[in-house]
Amino acid sequence: MVTITPQPPPKRPSQQPLLLYFSLALLIVVVLFYFGLSFLEQRAASDIERLEKEIKAVADDKDKIMEAEVLAARKRIETFSVLFADHRKPSKFFDFLEQATHPRLQFDNLELKPVLLKAELSGSAPNFVIVGQQIYILQDDPLIREVKITQLSLGPGGKAVFSLELSLAPGMFK
C-alpha cells in the first residue's frame, strides 16, 4: 500500500513575484516609449515636410526674383547690342579722307553729317586739273555714292577754290 503523506507546498522563491511585477512594469515602459517615439517621429516628419514646403516657397520667390533680374539684364544687353550694331563711327571717314586725298590738294572746311550720309568739303588746289583728279579719285571709290560740285572758282594767286558735296555709302561708318 501506498501511503501518501502530505507534503508542504513548495515554497516559491520570494523574488519571483518581484520579478514578475518588474518585468510587467518594464514591458509597459517599453510600450510607452515605443508609442512615444513613434509619435515624436511622426511629428518630426510633419515638421520636416512643413519646413521643406516653406523652403521651397521661399526658394521659388527667390528664383522668381532672380529670374526677373536675369530677364531685365538680358533685355538691356539685347537693347545695347542693337544700339551698338547701329552705331556709326564718324572717325572712319577721316581715315578714308586721309587715304583718298590728292597730295597737292588742301581741304579748308568739312561738314560731316553721318546720320544723313553726307559730307560737304571745301578747299583749294594749285589748279583745276588737280581738283578734277580729286573728283575722279572720289567717284572711283565704292564708299562714295555721288560727288557733286557745288562751287568751283578761281581764287587768289590763281588757285582753284572748290566745294564738294559727297553722298556716302552706309558702309562708310561701320
pLDDT in tens, 114-125: 888 899 999 999
How does the average pLDDT of the chain come out, rounded? 87
**CB of 160 closer than 8 Å to CB of 124:** yes
Has domain 91-173 been given CATH number 3.30.1360.100? Answer: yes
**CB of 173 closer than 8 Å to CB of 93:** yes
Sign of CA dihedral 122, 128, 133, 139: positive
Residue 110: left if φ>0, alpha if ψ -120 to 50, beta else—which one?
beta
How high is the pLDDT of residue 13? 61
How high is the pLDDT of residue 1? 62
Measure the CA–CA gap between 128 and 101, rounded to whole angstroms: 15
Cβ burial of 138 (10 Å; 0-12, 13-18, 19+) is buried
Residue type at 75?
A: K
pLDDT, one tens digit per residue, over 47-74 is: 999 999 888 887 787 888 888 888 898 8
How high is the pLDDT of residue 6? 77
How high is the pLDDT of residue 12? 63
* Res. 25: pLDDT tops 90: yes
